[in-house]
Structure 1
Amino acid sequence: MKKARKLQDVEKGTAKYGPTIFADLTEDEFGVRLNSKPWDLSIRPKDNAVIPQDPAPKAWDWRDHGVVTPVKNQGSCGSCWAFSTTGNVEGQWAIKKQKLVSLSEQELVDCDKVDQGCNGGLPSQAYDAIMKLGGLETEKEYGYKGYDEKCFFKKSDVAAKINGSVKISENEDDMAAWLAKNGPISIGINAFAMQFYMGGIAHPWKIFCNPKKLDHGVLIVGYGVEGSKPYWIIKNSWGESWGEKGYYLLYRGGGVCGVNTMCTSATVP
């Protein structure tokens, strides 16, 4: 509670910090839900995303356009990277094929041999794994267990395929323009303040969430402005009882918590 109070005392946004479902965990216990080591910022797709030249709409939310599945729950497994990846592919597939399908994170936890399953991974690497495997099965066919097991992937059950990946500009105006035109963005973030986040637009001091030390994979599904505060709408994978019904609103425009440093997307054929 002292940590939550400290965050609250210096909060620059409208966020409330307090007794969340994770507030009683030690840093190590909470860390199980994150990557075991910070993301390697040099591992990203080779191709640059094309940024639309038209100005972005003032606000945009892909949840209103039927391309975002309900909030999922990774449990006590550091598979956030897999949820960030599937969320992005679900969006890309739904926009391209006009069909929203919930895709399997467990397939990535079990069958992606470059990443470390419940000990963490990177969306940039997961895209390559999906292409090598031949696609993703549905959540229904390859359900989530929340622990590492052997790979049960069946190529005949593939429900979505990708043919590449792109890195997206670190400029947050460019990110918004790309997102509004192309779909939700997979990102990495420093999750320190998220342990105590209860709602509102979060804008923690840099000292509490080093933008160079990303440890959690999430999905930007939209953005907006409240009063004078622009914000991102971020889908998390800790269930609907956390944050804003499973979502995190984060100040947009200051590179807060490294939100703009590892922005990527799959491409769909």
Structure 2
Amino acid sequence: MKYIVAFALLCVALVAAKSISTEQSQFRAFQTKYNKQYTNEEFTYRFGVFKNNLKVIRNMNLKSKAQKSTATFDVNAFADLTVDEFKKYYLNSVVAERDMNAPVAADVHVDAMPTNYDWATLGAVTPVKNQGQCGSCWSFSATGNIEGAWFLAGNNLTGLSEQNLVDCDHECMQYLGDHVCDQGCNGGLQPNAYEYILKNGGIDTEESYPYTGVTGTTCNFDASNIGAKISSWTYVSSNETTMASYLYANGPLAIAADALTWQYYSGGVFDFKECGSVLDHGILITGFGVDTTNNEPYWIVKNSWGADWGESGYMRIIRGKGLCGLNTFVTATQI
């Protein structure tokens, strides 16, 4: 009997060793792909975080399948980060919450809405950008909306400078009883960014004021390098049918959403019921469509985490459920 027990324990040990070996191989491949460099001490810690995240990814895929969602999750550049680190580096510390007393744009009536529509395929959206480890998502969301509006006003598509906002925009507003200011890599709000651009007379081009991913101590705005101007901004209805009509008529929409569960998204229509409603990330809705696999209506969202995240820097998220609070803080500018 004791030989049988010993043999069983040996088998368990071999399986465990094989699992560790596989995880180490995955971690080495991850390091190579994303050029991750660690000290010996940090390697041990990051490997532990990575192993835990592999379990998280597996569980999310199982939950997604159980919920009959087409969304998939996989190892990406964030796989060596804890949840707290991901929140700190990539989400907005200034949580958005819509001021329900603020004016909302008039509804747009469209006689025949298409089933699928995406401004990214129609020349109104710049390539996917990367905010890096800087909580500046709000600036990318704001510039994305203005880039689209500027193009639709008859101008050339022009990349606009997020760094201009990160360095120079310290605009504040009384926001739901609080005095809220834009704080570069420490967070901000699209409405504040719009107000800064209105007062500033415009925003510089991305080419003239390139992104560095850190909050500069000096504002280098140059009026001779203005790439776009706006005349006003507004909130847009939280009704998702109305949102689609407004987007179809006026271009991409700058929004905020709860993105904590987006860390490992790799593709499909995101319909993850565990997604919350704390609006901690600014992004851009560029279009909408219907997935033929499950007949799921979705939004097309442009993110600012680089082109190797999600579906080439984009994600599709279920439309019509208010998932992740994406319909509660919708803004747009006018040229």
Instruction: Please classify the TM superposition score into its range, dividing by the shorter chain length.
Output: over 0.9
Q: Name the counterpart of 2:227.
A: 159
How many residues in Structure 1 have an aligned counterpart in Structure 2? 265
Which of 10, 19, 39 is 2:96 aligned to? Answer: 39
Which of 251, 254, 260 is 1:186 aligned to? Answer: 254
Change (3 A) 1:152 1:239: same
**Is the Cα contact below 8 Å between 1:33 and 1:77 reproduced in 2?**
yes
The Cα offsets for residues 43-68 of structure 1, whole Å up to 9 and x where unpaired, read as 89634243224342211010121110
Q: Name the counterpart of 2:205.
A: 138
Q: Secondary structure at the match of 1:232?
A: strand
Which of 42, 47, 56 is 1:3 aligned to? Answer: 56
Farther-moved stretch of structure 1 (67-76 vs 155-164): 155-164
Q: Name the counterpart of 1:215.
A: 280
* Equivalent AA in structure 2 for residue 27 of structure 1: V
Q: How many angstroms apart in 1 are the aligned matches of 2:106 and 2:166?
A: 27
The Cα offsets for residues 125-164 of structure 1, whole Å up to 9 and x where unpaired, read as 1111111111011000011010001211112221200011
Which of 246, 262, 266 is 2:329 aligned to? Answer: 262
Q: Secondary structure at the match of 1:6?
A: helix
Q: Name the counterpart of 1:199.
A: 267
Q: Name the counterpart of 2:36.
A: none
Change (3 A) 1:28 1:44: farther
Q: Secondary structure at the match of 1:265?
A: strand
* Equivalent AA in structure 2 for residue 38 of structure 1: V
Query: Is the aligned partner of 1:61 residue 2:118?
Result: yes
Q: Name the counterpart of 1:28.
A: 84
Which of 61, 72, 85 is 2:129 aligned to? Answer: 72
Change (3 A) 1:43 1:143: farther
Q: How many angstroms apart in 1 are the aligned matches of 2:222 and 2:148?
A: 22
Q: How many angstroms apart in 2 are the aligned matches of 1:252 and 1:140?
A: 35
**Is the Cα contact below 8 Å between 1:107 and 1:152 reproduced in 2?**
yes
Change (3 A) 1:154 1:49: farther
Q: Name the counterpart of 1:108.
A: 165
Structure 2 unaligned segments of length 5 or more: list them: 1-53, 172-181
Q: Name the counterpart of 1:253.
A: 320
- Structure possessing the higher radius of gyration over alpha carbons: 2
Which of 291, 311, 321 is 1:226 aligned to? Answer: 291
**Is the Cα contact below 8 Å between 2:124 and 2:148 reproduced in 1?**
yes
TM-score, reference length from structure 1: 0.94
* Equivalent AA in structure 1 for residue 244 of structure 2: A
**Is the Cα contact below 8 Å between 1:44 and 1:124 reproduced in 2?**
no
**Is the Cα contact below 8 Å between 1:67 and 1:94 reproduced in 2?**
yes
Q: Name the counterpart of 1:17.
A: 73
Change (3 A) 1:152 1:43: farther
Q: Percent identity, aligned pairs only?
A: 47
Q: Secondary structure at the match of 2:149?
A: helix
**Is the Cα contact below 8 Å between 2:94 and 2:188 reproduced in 1?**
no
* Equivalent AA in structure 2 for residue 19 of structure 1: V
